[in-house]
Amino acid sequence: MALSTEEQRILAEIETRLAEDDPRLARRLAAHRGTSRRRVRLVTAAVVAAVGVVTALVSGILTAFS
């Protein structure tokens, strides 16, 4: 779900204040930004692959008994 322009502005303001108030925490959070996105993509790919394998197995079994 995309953020509105106002929500993006507010988020940018929060990020700026965080960087000013606690630069160390801001650096740690910034280091993890891409990690969660990669993890979601990896899990999604694994689930799609697993569903594909199960579908192929079930199709093979049903074909063999038809």
Q: Are 64 and 41 members of one domain?
A: yes
Q: What is the number of structural domains in the chain? A: 2
Tokens of residue 16, six digits:
């700026």
> CB 2: neighbour CB atoms within 10 A?
5
Q: Are 41 and 64 members of one domain?
A: yes
Q: Are 27 and 45 members of one domain?
A: no
Q: Are 44 and 63 members of one domain?
A: yes
> pLDDT tens digits, residue range 23-45?
998 888 887 776 677 788 899 99
Q: Are 7 and 27 members of one domain?
A: yes
Give residue 26's domain range: 1-31
Residue range 36-65: mean pLDDT, rounded: 92
The reported pTM is 0.48
Residues near 64 by Cβ (< 8 Å), separated by ≥ 6?
none
Q: Are 50 and 66 members of one domain?
A: yes
Q: Is the pLDDT of residue 61 over 80?
A: yes
